[in-house]
Chains A and B, each alone.
Chain A
Amino acid sequence: MSELAELGVAAIRDGVAGGDFSAVEVAEAFNARVAGATALNAFIVATPDKALEAAAVVDADRASGKPLGKLAGVPIGMKDLFATQGVQTTAGSHILEGFIPEYESTVSAKLWDAGAGMLGKLNMDQFAMGSSNETSYFGNVNSPRRRKDGGNAALAPGGSSGGSSAAIAARLCPAATGTDTGGSIRQPAAFTGIAGIKPTYGRCSRWGIVAFASSLDQAGAMARDVTDCAIMLEAMAGFDPKDATSLEMPVPEWEAGLNPDMRGKRVGIPREYRLEGTDPDILKSWDDGIAWMKDAGATIVDISLPHTKYALPAYYIIAPAEASSNLARYDGVRYGLRELPEGAGLQDMYAATRAAGFGPEVKRRVLIGTYVLSAGFYDAYYTQAQKVRALIARDFERAWATCDVILTPTAPSAAFALGDKSADPLAMYLNDVFAVPASLAGLPAMSVPAGLNREGLPLGLQIIGQPFDEQGVLDAGLAIERRAVFSAKPEQWW
């Protein structure tokens, strides 16, 4: 039944509900795909029994006439940042290797309640710090994509949700969770030719998600198309009293509300995103997107987001500052790794544990965060960055007076080869230049596949929406998806 693994979320849900195939058959098909794709290294842990167990419950419920959940029979991948009861949760780091949570994150619990099953825990950049999945302690994820030049350069699946993007593009799962702190859903989606949405900050509960930068972290959905993202996000979102920043708002029926008709909508094109020296293929895909929006009936509006160039440097103060504080909990006492050199005291144990447990990029960011928060530097760096963040948010607020959604490229390049940027942290950071502003402003944003570049690699277009208007983002994404000529399936080499 390998053809079942070609299906997306909506098709699986409808087929299971309609009795065309059983949930167990679907789970078996995807379990086989996961088992056959170890060369991609997309999963840190596979959980075929969990997928089968959830599927058997759905089949039994259907047989006894019980109502089925929104994701009944859909097996998914879970980014290893979400705490899953009884299943190792590492955040891609050695310091959490062997950590078996005693509790379930709110988002994953909601997905299981909706009838989804877990295929496994997906590889990711360590503590979600990275844009290529090369900072994982558990090895690089290989993108299923290859350039069409006949070479076999191993390409980055993007990051930090690189296991999620690779697994979906390779048809190892129809959908997966991601998290986005500064582009970690959208950039990997663009690199692998899938769709991914980060909702408004606060839509999805952060409870049980390993924290990176709490004022930015937001869970979201990744899948092959816009409709599947809408279905997933509906199941993930919702108020949670256990997260103080959770939005106390009803979750709209995004799937039912999908409408690709853009007549009467104004699409903003920010002039500051047209950077000098941008890859002409990227600019062409952006122009294509503008033409598709017009074709869908939208009015195109030139807008200005004047503080755009300061978003990345502000992000690289705020995110490391929050990370240095959040990661203070890894002390070798309560969970995770402990390094206790002979004769060491408590302070030595902390320092030895963190030295052994954190990877180089995590150490780099914790040190930057510690520095910018230290006495004498706090105002010059951290307070200044928070003020610039306010100006970036204000830029967007002003733009909403003249437009409903904003259209930009997702990333300044297509997927790069593994190893290309790993020696230069700053070059890696710059890959998130188009994704970070929406994160700083807490806005919903998604990436949808827009086509292929000259090398045959996918490019993504980003749609940024107003607070709480995930519907507007999904609708614009659907309008693009209907018009983009896109061969979504990578040729299998693994």
Chain B
Amino acid sequence: MSVDKATVAKIAALARIRMSDDEVAALVPELNNILGWVEQLGEVDVSGVEPMAAVIPNHLRLRDDVVIDGRVRDAVLANAPAAEHGFFGVPKVIE
């Protein structure tokens, strides 16, 4: 499988990264080079193999259902580029 300009532009839009036509065009051969190389994985016989998501067997723990933190609004907002009135500020979303 290989990607063309339209596909790269679509992926960039999905990834929310603005790109110029030139940037998209430059990425087409780069991504195809990398994708062509990873495609050798297709030759591996994986019948009966379960996909591995966690590398060290570990059970997920449950914690006690109690509040352990909170009341740190100002710390949460401290690095926000446009905090206002105790909220994250964003451009207008609704007309």
- CB pair B46–A354 under 8 Å, yes or no, is no
Interface string of A332-372 (1 = CB under 8 A from B): 11111110100011111111101100100001101110110
Report B85 CB to chain A, min CB distance, Å. 15
- CB pair A355–B91 under 8 Å, yes or no, is no
- CB pair A333–B90 under 8 Å, yes or no, is yes
- CB pair A370–B88 under 8 Å, yes or no, is no
- CB pair B40–A425 under 8 Å, yes or no, is no
- CB pair A384–B11 under 8 Å, yes or no, is no
Q: Which residues of B contact A79 (CB under 8 A)?
A: none
Q: Can you list 14 residue pairs at the A/B interface with Cβ under 8 Å?
A: A101-B79, A102-B75, A241-B63, A314-B41, A316-B37, A347-B16, A351-B17, A352-B18, A368-B31, A384-B44, A387-B49, A387-B52, A391-B49, A442-B56
- CB pair B17–A338 under 8 Å, yes or no, is no
Interface string of A276-308 (1 = CB under 8 A from B): 000000000000000000000000000000010
- CB pair B81–A337 under 8 Å, yes or no, is yes
Given A102-B75, A215-B53, A390-B50, output 19 extra A-B contacts at Cβ < 8 Å: A102-B78, A202-B58, A309-B40, A310-B41, A336-B81, A348-B18, A349-B91, A351-B13, A355-B18, A366-B17, A374-B14, A380-B1, A386-B53, A387-B46, A388-B41, A389-B51, A390-B52, A391-B49, A467-B56
Instruction: Name the one of A102, A103, A244, A349 contacting B90, with C-beta atoms under 8 angstroms.
Output: A349
- CB pair B18–A393 under 8 Å, yes or no, is no
Return the chain B residue nearest A350 by Cβ. Answer: B16
Interface pairs A-B: 3 shortest CB-CB:
A442-B55, A386-B51, A335-B79
- CB pair B38–A313 under 8 Å, yes or no, is yes
From DSSP, what is the main secondary structure of chain A's interface residues?
helix
> How far apart sit A294 and B76, CA to CA, in the bound complex (Å)?
56
Instruction: Name the one of B18, B27, B50 contacting A367, with C-beta atoms under 8 angstroms.
Output: B27
Query: How many pairs of A and B residues are in contact by the CB < 8 Å rule?
Result: 168
Instruction: Name the one of B1, B8, B46, B56 contacting A384, with C-beta atoms under 8 angstroms.
Output: B46
Return the chain B residue nearest A442 by Cβ. Answer: B55
- With contacts A102-B79, A316-B38, A355-B17 taken as known, whether A386 is within 8 angstroms of B11 at the C-beta atoms is no
- CB pair A364–B27 under 8 Å, yes or no, is yes
Report B87 CB to chain A, min CB distance, Å. 10
What count of chain B residues pass the 8 Å CB interface test? Answer: 52
> How far apart sit A22 and B81, CA to CA, in the bound complex (Å)?
43
Which A residues from 415 to 467 make CB contacts under 8 A with B? 425-426, 429, 440-442, 467
B6 beta carbon closer than 8 Å to chain A: no
Instruction: Name the one of A215, A307, A352, A429 contacting B55, with C-beta atoms under 8 angstroms.
Output: A215
- CB pair A425–B34 under 8 Å, yes or no, is yes
A245 beta carbon closer than 8 Å to chain B: yes
Q: Which residues of A contact B44 (CB under 8 A)?
A: 307, 310, 384, 387-388, 391
Return the chain A residue nearest B95 by Cβ. Answer: A345
Q: Which residues of A contact B31 (CB under 8 A)?
A: 364, 367-368, 371
- With contacts A310-B41, A340-B91 taken as known, whether A367 is within 8 angstroms of B60 at the C-beta atoms is no
A247 beta carbon closer than 8 Å to chain B: yes
Instruction: Name the one of B13, B50, B53, B56 contacting A201, with C-beta atoms under 8 angstroms.
Output: B56
- CB pair B49–A426 under 8 Å, yes or no, is no
